[in-house]
Amino acid sequence: MTSRLVPVGLLLPCAAVVGWTVLGVLGVLDYEYLSSPREIAAALTDLVAEGELVGDLVHTVRVAVIATLIGTALGGMLGFAIGLLPLVRRNVTAGIDVLRVVPAVALVPIALLALGPAVRTEVVLAVYAAVWPVVLSTAAGVAAVHPRQYDVARTLHLSRAATVRTIVVPAAVPAWLAGTRMAAVAALLVAIVAEMIMWPRGLGGGLTESLHALAPARMWAYALICGFVGFLVNLLLRQGVRRACPGSTFGGSPAVRQPAAPLRGLVPLVGALVVWQLFVRDAQSFPPPSAWFTGLAGLHDDGALLPAIGHTVAVVVGGLALATLIGTAVGIAIGASRWVDRALTPSVEFLAAVPAAAFVPIAVLLLGTSMASEVAVVALVTAWPILLETAVAMRTVPAVRLDVSRTLRLSTADKWRKVVLPTLAPAILLGVRIAAALALVVALLVEILGAGTGIGRLLVESQQSFDAAAAWGLLLVVGITGYLLSAAVVRIDGFVARQPSSGGPSVRSRTAA
C-alpha cells in the first residue's frame, strides 16, 4: 500500500472510534457489554501497568513460535517425502486428508485427559495445527517440478542426491516458506484456543477470564492485542517470504485443488488403529477404538448424540451460508469501487489477520447463546476469506468480458448473472473452502465456551466426567463431519469449474499472496 492510500485507509477506523465514543457519551450505545474506546484504553493501560498483559503475550507468542518451528520441520520432511516419492504419496495422502480436517479445538478435551493442563499440551495441539499447511505446501512444491528438469539432470549425469539438491530443493523452498507462514498463523490461533479452554494463562486465558468475570473492557483490550499480534505475524511472514523468494507467485495454499487421493492411502491410518486396538491398554486416557463406539452408543442411548450432531451441523451450514452472502457482497463492493477499496482494505486486512478465536468471546457476550446467535458468530468470523478472495477476483474481471456485455447491450441484471458472477464463482468457492474448516472450529469453540448443545458441549462434558471413550468417539464424529463438509465443498467447486461460464482469471494461485 502506498503512502497516498494510507490516509484514506485510516479514515474508516478513525471515524468508527470517534463515532463510537460520541454515541457512547450521548447514551445512544448504552449497552452493558459494549465498552467505549476510552474504557478499553483504560483497561489496556491497567493490564500493561500490572504486567499481566506482557506475561500473557510472552506466553502465547513463545508457544506459537515453538510450535511453528516444530511443525515446519516435521511438515517439511513429510511433505518432501510425499512430493518426491510416489509410493509414499499413494499410501499416505488419503490418511493425511482425514487427519487434517480434524479441528485442533476438538482435540483439547482429549489432550487435557491425556496430558493434563500443561505447556506441553498447548504446544502439542499447536504443532498438530501447524504441520498440515507445511506438509501440503511442500508436497505440492516438490510435485510441481517439471519432468524436463529431471531429463536435464539425467543428461548431465547428476546423481540422485545432486538432482534433489540442485533442482528439487530450490523448487520446493518457496512453497515450504508459504506453508511456514500459514503454519505460524495456525499455531497462534490454536495456542489462543487452547489457553481459552485449558487454563487462565496467555492471551486466550485472559480473554476467557474476562468473559467469565463479565469484564468487557478487558476482553476488548485482549482481543485488540490478539489482533495486533496476528496482523504483525502475518505481515512479517509475508514480507519474509517475498524477500526470500522474490518474484515467486506460488501460494502453496492447502485450499488449492489437489488430485483425488487413492483409498489405499488410508491403509497406514487403518493399520495404526488396528495396532492401537490390539496393543494399547491405557483405557483411562487412550481407550482402544472399540471403546469409542461404546462411548458413542452410551451418548446415543441417552438421547444426546444425534441432537448434538444436528445442532452443530446446522450451525456450521447456516453460518457458512450467511458468511458466503456477507463475504460475497462486501468483496464485490470493495473490488468494484476504487474509493471503497482504498477506504476499507486496510481495516479488512487487519480484521482478517485477527485470530478467529479472539472474536468468539466478544461475539458470545454481545449476541448471547441462542442458536441464531451461534450462526451469526460463525458467519461474522468466517466471512473474511470469502470477502478477500471475492475482492481480488472482482478487481481482475477481464475487461473484454465487460466490453462484450456492452456490445451485446445486456441489461445490468443480465451482465451480473451471465458475466460477472460466473467469473467470480471460482474465487467465491475458494473462499468457502477455506472458511468451511474455520466454521467448524468456531462452532465447536462457541459450544465449548458454554453456548449451545452441540458436539463441542458434549466434548467438554466428556472431559469433565473423565469419559475418555466418549471423548475419542466424539472426536471421530468431528473428523467425519469435517471430512464430509470438505468433500461437499470440493464437489461443488469441481462442478462449477467444469462449467464453461466459470472461466476467467484464476485466483487459486493468489490464495496466500
For residue range 124-156, list pLDDT tens digits in order: 999 999 999 899 888 888 887 877 877 777 788
Q: Which of 67, 226, 88, 86 is nearest to 132 (CA)?
A: 67
Regarding whether 194 and 45 lie in a shared domain, the answer is yes
Of 238, 253, 268, which one is at a domain's C-terminal end?
Answer: 253
Place of cell 495486533: 228
The CA radius of gyration of the chain, in Å to the nearest whole number, is: 24
The pTM is what? Answer: 0.80
d(CA 321, CA 261): 28
- DSSP-derived secondary structure for 412-445: HHHHIIIIIHHHHHHHHHHHHHHHHHHHHHHHHH
At 82, the pLDDT band (50, 70, 90 cuts) reads confident
Give me the number of domains the chain comprises: 2
Shared-domain flag, residues 330 and 403: yes
- Best CA proximity match to 454, nearest among 356, 317, 292, 288: 317
Q: What is the pLDDT of residues 26-39, one digit of tens each?
A: 666 666 677 778 88
Q: Are residues 82 and 213 in the same domain?
A: yes
Q: Are 181 and 73 part of one and the same domain?
A: yes
242 shares a domain with 292: no
Could you tell me the pLDDT band of residue 1, with boundaries at 50, 70 and 90? very low
> Does 17 fall in a domain?
no
Element (H, E) at 306: helix 305-336
When mean pLDDT is compared across 116-120, 199-203, 508-512, the lowest value belongs to 508-512
**What is the distance, to the nearest Å, from the Cα of residue 24 to the centroid of all Cα atoms in its chain?**
34
Tell me which residue has cell 491410518. Answer: 269
- Asked if residue 241 lies in contact with residue 181, where contact means CB atoms within 8 angstroms, the answer is yes
Residue 266 lies in a domain: no
Express each pLDDT in 339-375 by its tens digit: 877 777 777 777 777 787 777 887 777 777 788 888 9
Gap between the Cα atoms of 442 and 315, Å rounded: 10
CA–CA gap between residue 125 and residue 297 (Å, rounded): 27
* CATH code, domain with 150: 1.10.3720.10
Check pLDDT > 80 for residue 307. yes
Percent of the chain with pLDDT over 70: 86
Residues 324 and 418 in one domain: yes
Question: In terms of residue numbers, what domain contains 463?
Answer: 281-513
Residue carrying C-alpha cell 492447502: 254
The answer to whether residues 235 and 301 belong to one domain is no
Q: Which residue has the cell 474476562?
A: 210
Same domain, 293 and 145: no
For 367-377, give one letter per residue: b (16+ CB within 10 A) or e.
bebeeebbbbb
Count of CA atoms in the C-beta half-sphere (13 A) of 254? 27
Distance CA 21, CA 315 (A): 34
| Same domain, residue pair 308 and 411 | yes
DSSP state of 226: H
Among 122-126, 188-192, 336-340, name the one with the lowest average pLDDT.
Answer: 336-340
Q: Taking a C-beta distance cutoff of 8 angstroms, is the pair 147, 86 a contact?
A: no
Position 262 in a domain: no
Among 304-308, 364-368, 395-399, top mean pLDDT goes to 304-308
